[in-house]
């Protein structure tokens, strides 16, 4: 009686729930973007009384914002580079080897994102206190690199696992040595995964606050600047503009990363 694919047809409820969920996920971000353009300087008013670009102009003149932005980009760049090197090494080592400690090592690499950030943060602070290390640019980088490694590691190891082992065997059979196989077969395959992992690591580091508060001392990254503004709401319009800038800086690398890893996930 039922059509042949009735068991597979999405019900109206399923469709509605899915779209409502997507709307729920996007509404808060949309609201912030809207408020960056409001003419009201008390942004609790809804709906906004009018739209303007004035706050962008004001925000661009603020040297404290630029300084924090530069620091955040610097930290994210160095942390991403460290994560790319260490995460790739770990992924290549564990991808197909029969190391007995493999599960334990995988767990170790995942731990910084599996445990709450506050633990990593406080642990680094405790270690810095004991070792007598003053907070600086490099302590922020150390914290960020630790949780960025796993992002690169996951991307690269996923790609390596999908790579058919026969390709490497074929290359070797055809007379290529280890270096040639790496250069001609492995590297081109892994390159986009590396780039995607790097992009995600950059976005994660640029936006990080929980660990950074513990390791930054007097340095003010952009998220720390933003965090301070949350408790001193005297300049809401400027805060809104910075929010939009932060969204833009993190979104671009993420979209690029998605595009780079797409053939695998978008396959149907």
Partner 1 sequence: MAAAIAAGAAPFPPRALATWFHRRPLLAAWLLLVPPLLWFGTVYLGSLFALLAQSFYAIDEFTATIVPRLTLATWAQLLTQPAHLDIVLRTTAMAIAVTIAAAIIAFPIANHMACHASGRMKAFFHVAVMLPMWTSYLVKVYAWRLILAKEGILAWCLAALGLDGVLDALLRTPGIGGPSLTSSYLGMFIVFVYMWLPFMILPIAAALERVPRSLIAASADLGARPAQTFWRVTLPLAMPGIAAGSIFTFSLTLGDYIIPSVVGAPGYFIGMMVYQQQGTAGNIPLAAAFSVVPIVLIGIYLALARRAGAFDAL
Among 53, 57, 58, 93, the residue binding partner 1 under the rule CB under 8 A is 93
258-264-266 Cα angle (round to 5):
70
**Interaction pattern, residues 102-141, with partner 1; x per rule: CB under 8 A:** ---x--xxxxx-xxxxxxx-xxxxxx-xx-----------
- Residues between 26 and 65 with contacts to partner 1, criterion CB under 8 A: 26, 28-29, 31-32, 35, 43-47
| Whether 190 contacts 159, CB under 8 Å | yes
Minimum distance between the CB of residue 85 and partner 1, rounded to whole angstroms?
7
- Residues between 149 and 168 with contacts to partner 1, criterion CB under 8 A: 149, 168
- Residues between 58 and 77 with contacts to partner 1, criterion CB under 8 A: none
Minimum distance between the CB of residue 46 and partner 1, rounded to whole angstroms?
5
Among 1, 3, 7, 134, the residue binding partner 1 under the rule CB under 8 A is 7
Stretch that binds partner 1, among 20-28, 50-58, 61-69, 73-81 (CB under 8 A): 20-28
Considering beta carbons, is residue 13 or 63 the nearer one to partner 1? 13
Q: Counting beta carbons within 10 angstroms of the beta carbon of residue 86, is it exposed (0 to 12), middle (13 to 18) or buried (19 or more)?
A: middle
Q: How far apart are CA 87 and CA 103, in angstroms?
A: 16
Q: How far apart are CA 83 and CA 137, in angstroms?
A: 16
Among 53, 58, 85, 191, the residue binding partner 1 under the rule CB under 8 A is 85
- Residues between 218 and 247 with contacts to partner 1, criterion CB under 8 A: 223, 226-227, 230, 239, 243, 246-247
Of 150, 81, 83, 157, the C-alpha closest to 117 is 150
- Residues between 172 and 211 with contacts to partner 1, criterion CB under 8 A: 177-179, 181-183, 186, 200, 203-204, 207, 209-210
């Amino acid at each position: 009686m039922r059509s042949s694919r009735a068991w597979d047809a999405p019900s109206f409820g399923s469709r509605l729930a899915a779209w409502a969920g997507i709307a729920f996920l996007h509404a808060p971000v949309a609201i912030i973007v809207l408020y960056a353009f409001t003419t009201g300087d008390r942004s609790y008013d809804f709906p906004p009384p009018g739209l303007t670009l004035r706050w962008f102009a004001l925000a661009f003149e603020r040297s404290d914002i630029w300084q924090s932005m530069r620091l955040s980009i610097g930290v994210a760049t160095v942390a991403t580079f460290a994560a790319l090197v260490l995460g790739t090494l770990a992924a290549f080592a564990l991808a197909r080897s029969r190391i007995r400690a493999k599960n334990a090592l995988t767990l170790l690499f995942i731990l910084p994102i599996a445990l709450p950030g506050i633990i990593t943060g406080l642990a680094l602070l405790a270690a810095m206190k004991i070792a007598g290390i003053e907070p600086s640019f490099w302590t922020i980088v150390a914290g960020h690199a630790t949780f960025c490694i796993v992002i690169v590691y996951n991307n690269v190891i996923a790609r390596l696992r999908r790579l058919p082992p026969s390709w490497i065997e074929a290359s070797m059979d055809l007379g290529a040595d280890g270096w040639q196989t790496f250069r001609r077969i492995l590297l081109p395959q892994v390159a986009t995964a590396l780039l995607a992992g790097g992009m995600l690591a950059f976005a994660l580091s640029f936006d990080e606050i929980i660990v950074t508060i513990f390791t930054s001392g007097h340095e003010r990254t952009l998220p720390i600047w933003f965090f301070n503004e949350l408790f001193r709401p005297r300049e809401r319009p400027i805060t809104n503009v910075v929010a939009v800038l932060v969204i833009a800086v993190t979104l671009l690398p993420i979209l690029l990363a998605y595009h780079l890893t797409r053939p695998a996930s978008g396959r149907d």
